[in-house]
Chains A and B, each alone.
Chain A
């Protein structure tokens, strides 16, 4: 390996031997691309002209007024092409795949946002694309399945194990092991074996870099708190990264508590899990005393995952970031409240971050600045909300 595989003790490469040459090849190509000005220029152009970056930093006056405490800002990742931050990483990885001469793209998806982003990027580059999706999620997220189909991607329903995101990832890894010579696996979060956690974070760190400059321009100073939801944790790492060296900026990750962390029906991996190995890295994981991975539960399909990226585990262990959790009910309440107050329909994932603000920001002094990563838009969640 050419760069460190670890964040503190977390990370590594817990994969079948067959994938080791592929991870080596990927690491080499990725590190080369980082220093390749033509790669960086092409990606910058795509993010600007195709995706619509930079996304705005928006002061939310009615949320702020209703709370009567901290000033609340939203980083509008919901305004990206395809409706979430996922496209930042999908464009980066698919561009890299294309430059490596790979003709076949594999991805997994839970809510379908990463699947749609990869399907979009694969269409843009004219590459074959296969997306694995738990059968349960195929039904829950039918509009996104239709979108991927329109974009020319083959969606494969996964019925093994618990038929959810973790099983879709298992299946994507099995496909990759089998077709490793011609395929590129586009992982959708800051998880998986090295170099994925590093690479995905670096493709997402543009969120924090933009918003840091935007905040300095608007307020002349950095925010006091940066808040983001955490499933695997890519939008959170994306916005946190630029602030890690600023000790006065509190970084707060909001996990999905589902029905409540003490009920066992949750996806709060850091709050309720232990260090273990899942999908190629050592990080916090939900598992029982025999080591069996426990199914996660969240109303938000994008947070419904029993693992979390290794860099988050490290930020939690060192205390640099704090991790809290929000229940399904609190997230739904925050979802509705944001629609009414700001005319913005947030993704249910992002609604978890907002719920933490609604819970805490009223008690903060008026000069406090709270920045929330509004990671995606909530059109995809209409069926879930209307069925409540």
Chain B
């Protein structure tokens, strides 16, 4: 498996998010391999949580479907470990703090590292609360990926940039994931502001759901993150692998082309 920095090497990175266990973990494993083969550069995998307060309706419902199918963090880590040799793109876990605390921060860091996880994102753990978890992860070679937002102050951007590793997750808007309405907001000035603070690659996410928006985002940032749109597209397929393969291949192809054309 490659590292996170390689994903941005000489190209704009295409990053996808799917919720683990939606509709079941076997399908997630299949989908991760497929996304990897179709040219996704970083595979973000969501840990389903009962109360995902940073997520919009699409990812909330994906999480509910995943919990219904019996997905747990323990089973998810076991699945990722079994996938280690089969996937090239780095895996990044995204999950809420209570899931990690219930598992135990140290045990989580250890098991995530052993499962080949390259990075971890925790949307309800802001920078100033993240020292313990970040330390546990980084001492095992796992990046703790921090988020910045359009309303982050310059002072805070600098402080975050100083501690960040992997890439900086630039939330494109004030809002939750999958916000189509706000996804159009201009980001040039925001991205320039962040870039002035760091040499890390910048990936733009939240509300990036179409090839057009992906192209626009990739023209200013170093990578784009697509989540809700992919989940919505695949939801009607259920666990039907043929349908998933058809739809995902087409969508990822168009995103890949859009992102590459912005490079």
Report the Cα distance A86→B263, complex, angstroms.
56
Report the Cα distance A279→B123, complex, angstroms.
12
Let me know if B162 is at the binding interface, CB within 8 A.
Answer: no
Residues of A within 8 A of B152 (CB): 17, 20-21
Let me know if B127 is at the binding interface, CB within 8 A.
Answer: yes
Within 8 A of A (CB), among B4-61: 49-54, 56-57, 60
Cβ A291 vs Cβ B100 within 8 A: yes
Residues of A within 8 A of B101 (CB): 275-277, 291
Given contacts A13-B128, A17-B147, contact A181 B49 (CB under 8 A): no
Q: Which residue of B lies closest to A19 (CB)?
A: B126
Which one of B82-90, B172-180, B186-194 contacts A? B172-180
Residues of B within 8 A of A98 (CB): none
Cβ A16 vs Cβ B98 within 8 A: no
Within 8 A of B (CB), among A137-180: 160-161, 166-167, 170, 173-174, 177-180
Let me know if A290 is at the binding interface, CB within 8 A.
Answer: yes
Residues of B within 8 A of A83 (CB): none
Residues of A within 8 A of B128 (CB): 1, 13, 20
Within 8 A of A (CB), among B108-162: 123-129, 146-149, 151-153, 156
Let me know if A263 is at the binding interface, CB within 8 A.
Answer: no
Cβ B102 vs Cβ A291 within 8 A: yes
How many residues does chain B have at the interface if contact means C-beta atoms less than 8 Å apart? 43
Given contacts A277-B97, A279-B53, A290-B102, contact A12 B174 (CB under 8 A): no
Let me know if B72 is at the binding interface, CB within 8 A.
Answer: yes
Report the Cα distance A288→B48, complex, angstroms.
13
Q: Interface digits, A90-126 against B, CB 8 Å rule (1 contact, 0 not)?
A: 0000000000000000000000000000000000000
Shortest beta-carbon distance from A272 to chain B in Å: 15
Q: Which residue of B lies closest to A274 (CB)?
A: B102
How many residues does chain A have at the interface if contact means C-beta atoms less than 8 Å apart? 38
Given contacts A18-B174, A177-B174, A177-B176, contact A161 B98 (CB under 8 A): no
Residues of A within 8 A of B146 (CB): 17
Residues of B within 8 A of A170 (CB): 51-53
Q: Which residue of A lies closest to B76 (CB)?
A: A290
Cβ B60 vs Cβ A17 within 8 A: no
Cβ A20 vs Cβ B99 within 8 A: no
Residues of B within 8 A of A174 (CB): 53-54, 56, 175-176
Shortest beta-carbon distance from B29 to chain A in Å: 19
Report the Cα distance A289→B129, complex, angstroms.
23
Given contacts A14-B124, A20-B156, contact A292 B50 (CB under 8 A): yes
Given contacts A16-B123, A18-B171, A178-B179, contact A287 B98 (CB under 8 A): yes
Report the Cα distance A278→B96, complex, angstroms.
10
Cβ B125 vs Cβ A177 within 8 A: no
Report the Cα distance A276→B124, complex, angstroms.
13
Residues of B within 8 A of A17 (CB): 126-127, 146-149, 152, 171
Cβ B50 vs Cβ A161 within 8 A: yes
What residues make up the interface of B, taking CB atoms closer than 8 Å to A? Answer: 49-54, 56-57, 60, 64, 67, 72-74, 96-103, 123-129, 146-149, 151-153, 156, 171, 174-176, 179, 182
Q: List 16 A-B contacts (CB under 8 A).
A: A1-B128, A13-B126, A14-B97, A14-B125, A16-B149, A17-B171, A18-B151, A18-B175, A21-B151, A161-B50, A173-B53, A174-B56, A276-B98, A277-B124, A279-B53, A280-B124
Extra pairs beyond A21-B153, A160-B60 (20, CB < 8 Å) = A13-B128, A13-B129, A16-B126, A18-B149, A18-B174, A19-B126, A22-B151, A161-B50, A174-B176, A177-B175, A178-B174, A179-B174, A276-B98, A276-B101, A277-B124, A278-B51, A279-B51, A285-B98, A287-B102, A293-B51
